[in-house]
Amino acid sequence: MALDSIAVSALIKELSTALTDGRIDKIHQPERDELTVSVRTFSDSFKLVISASPSNARVHFTDAGKENPKTAPMFCMLLRKHIQGGKIIAVTQPDFERIIDITVQTRNELGDIVFRHLITELTGRNANIILTDENSRIIEAARHIDFTQSSVRQILPGLTYQSPPPQDKIPFLDASKDFDIRFDDITKTAQSAIMSEISGISPIFAREIVYRATSRTDTMSSTLSDADKARITTLLNQYRLRALNGDFSPVLITETETDRIIDFSPFEIAQYENICTLTSFPTMSEAIGSFYLVRASKERLKQRSADILKLITSNLERLSKKLVIQQRTLKDAENKDKLRRFGDLITSSIYMIKPGMTELTVPDYFEPDTPNVTIPLSPQLTPAENAQKYYKKYTKAKNAETEVKKQLESTLAETEYLESTLSFVENCTSLSDINAIRAELTEQGYIKSSQNTKRKSKELSSLPHHFISSDGFDIYVGKNNLQNDILTLKFANTQDIWFHTKKIHGSHTVIKLGLNKDVPKRTITEAAQLAAYYSKARESSQVPVDYAPVKNVKKPSGAKPGMVIYDNYNTIYTTPKSPQELNLKILDK
């Protein structure tokens, strides 16, 4: 859900309590529309995420780190100039809207005390982060809005900041206004009627009000009794009072069967009954952070990997068409011996051919029972020329078969490589993983090489996953095909144990033995579960995983990155498990 004004109200109370009188220590901008702001108070320190992502706009505290660009973006540098080192004196919610205004007291270039406002508009696709001075003059914004984008409200440096235009509705948090909801449109559900009259509430909250009043979420306005309408008004007043008093009960809503996080709410939710499980949080910030931690990360990675996925998919489609043509050519070449036989039969029966004949029927001496065979002839050609025509077709088919077999082998190897790369892209967990795969594809010639060779070199040398098994053994898992090669062929010793899913694309996994050569069965199982988890079969069960000493793993000459052959191996069937599920120590950097 997008943050509604109720959730923002809960956040304001938490932010105000924690940050007031704190000083802004550091500002980073890991994404174009996202900031991390570190704040020090007398007794504690906080890291605040401020995101204006159209689909994941949010503000909350976090402990998680995020990769920052080497060179800070211009907006970040300007924020550092104006508010870094400043003291936060207030955190407010203007006009009961989905807006958070952080007022900062700082000093200008002359040393005079001035005030700056860091305004975050959590308004869905129009979300923005805006810095203004004490006179509401816009200094800068994460997203510029000019006249071509909006004729109502522009966000540009130098203009006067204006709040988003108010809706013709009753603000939920405005205690000076009574709820007067018209349920006279019989085509609307009760939920829609509530949302059309009240601003600042989310669909899940409106549904909850209807559910608690009528025991259903899809109740139509036309079916509401006077008692139902009265209960809806009473509930709205009760929840408004709770919000104004800071009486929140933040929860995360998880689908019970799939364990998928689907929503969050500043109040407890009953509408899902037994379908979902509620997890309570002490603060709204923690609930929001937990909800967006997975969602925002996956969405960012999806955006950053979109071009790679498109590139790989288009190349796989090209290879698929190429494969069909090559297989058809090989199928046609299966008849090459018949063509040579026809030439021989014409030559041996040349005396039987009369001018203008279109076919020749003769005994086939190459077959045991010498059956008659009819050979098509070109009447424009002499008997000798007809024979030569078949010999030439035979030679062409033979040469094509030899060449196409080589091409087919190359096509299959390239397809195998791209499909394995696709599985790595789908399993990426960080931007550096995506960049490493992009660099690998550049090295392999699929992406045009750029000038920044230093960056490419660093990306190619990124480190594999590193875990400690329950028995204390080091387990390494490759993140891409180049890492697979380095891990298996250079990093691992001959006696280390190598794992890979059988005939399924995935990561090379290695148990480093060190001085201890006696590997417990539990560690073998954990390594196999990791190999299955970091493969195309992540969502499957009973996945076959082969394992063998590294000395039994070889790379064929000229093979694509990550492609190896192996022998003298064992196979274990296991269910994929993440390192978190296995409770392993994670040493990834």
Instruction: Provide the CATH number for the domain around residue 28.
Output: 2.30.310.10
3-state secondary structure of 60: strand
Write the pLDDT tens digit of every residue in 35-45: 999 999 999 99
Structural domain containing residue 216: 170-287
- Number of neighbouring beta carbons within 10 Å of residue 461: 12
Q: What Cα–Cα distance (Å) separates residue 166 from each residue in 213, 260, 547?
A: 29, 35, 64
Same domain, 247 and 329: no
Query: Contact 164/153 with Cβ under 8 angstroms?
Result: yes
Residue 252 lies in a domain: yes
Nearest alpha carbon to residue 134 among 76, 82, 99, 169: 82
Q: What Cα–Cα distance (Å) separates residue 69 from each residue in 35, 148, 193?
A: 12, 31, 46
Write the pLDDT tens digit of every residue in 60-80: 999 887 778 889 999 999 999
Alpha carbon dihedral 325, 326, 329, 331, in 10-degree steps, equals -110
Query: Contact 377/355 with Cβ under 8 angstroms?
Result: no
For residue 376, give the H/E element and its range: strand 372-376
Same domain, 278 and 323: no
Write the pLDDT tens digit of every residue in 345-396: 899 888 888 888 999 999 988 888 889 999 999 999 999 999 999 999 899 8
3-state secondary structure of 93: coil
Query: Contact 308/438 with Cβ under 8 angstroms?
Result: yes
Bridge-based pairing of strands 34-40 and 23-31 is antiparallel
Same domain, 467 and 543: yes
Residue 555 lies in a domain: yes
- Number of neighbouring beta carbons within 10 Å of residue 62: 17
Residue 552 lies in a domain: yes
- Quote the number of domains for the chain: 4
Nearest alpha carbon to residue 128 among 171, 163, 89, 170: 163
Residue 254 lies in a domain: yes
Which residue is listed with tokens 């206004």?
177
Same domain, 326 and 281: no
| Number of Cα atoms under 13 Å in the Cβ half of residue 304 | 21
Query: Contact 164/123 with Cβ under 8 angstroms?
Result: yes
3-state secondary structure of 565: strand
Residue 153 lies in a domain: no
- Long-range interactions of 15-20: CB distance < 8 A, separation 24+: 15/48, 15/59, 15/91, 15/100, 15/102, 15/285, 16/90, 16/91, 16/92, 18/44, 18/46, 18/61, 19/46, 19/48, 19/88, 19/91, 19/102, 20/88, 20/89, 20/90, 20/91
Same domain, 475 and 410: no
Beta bridge partners of 130: 119, 141
3-state secondary structure of 14: helix
| Residue finishing a domain among 268, 287, 306 | 287
Query: Contact 124/54 with Cβ under 8 angstroms?
Result: yes
Nearest alpha carbon to residue 251 among 279, 285, 273: 279
Residues whose CB is less than 8 angstroms from the CB of residue 154 and which lie 6 or more positions away in sequence, other chains included: 145, 146, 147
Instruction: Provide the CATH number for the domain around residue 256.
Output: 1.10.8
| Residue finishing a domain among 287, 306, 334 | 287
Residue 399 lies in a domain: yes
> What gap in Å lies between CA 471 and CA 474, rounded to an integer?
9
Residue 393 lies in a domain: yes
Tokens (6 digits) for 294: 């997975």
Same domain, 61 and 97: yes
Q: Can you give the pLDDT of all 589 residues of the chain as single tens digits?
A: 568 999 999 999 999 999 999 999 999 999 889 999 999 999 999 999 999 988 889 999 998 877 788 899 999 999 999 999 999 999 999 989 999 999 999 999 899 999 999 999 999 889 999 999 999 999 999 999 998 888 889 999 999 999 998 888 999 999 999 998 989 888 999 999 999 999 999 999 999 999 999 999 999 999 999 999 999 999 999 999 999 999 999 999 998 877 778 899 999 999 998 899 999 999 999 999 988 876 666 667 777 888 899 999 999 999 999 999 998 888 878 888 888 888 998 998 888 888 889 999 999 888 888 899 999 999 999 999 999 999 998 998 888 888 888 899 889 989 999 999 998 888 887 778 888 898 889 988 899 876 554 444 444 456 899 999 999 999 999 999 999 999 999 999 999 999 999 999 999 999 999 777 789 999 999 999 999 999 999 988 899 999 999 999 999 988 999 999 999 999 999 999 999 889 999 987 5
Give residue 292's Cα distance to chain centre: 13
> What gap in Å lies between CA 579 and CA 532, rounded to an integer?
11
Nearest alpha carbon to residue 405 among 337, 330, 333: 330
Residue 150 lies in a domain: no
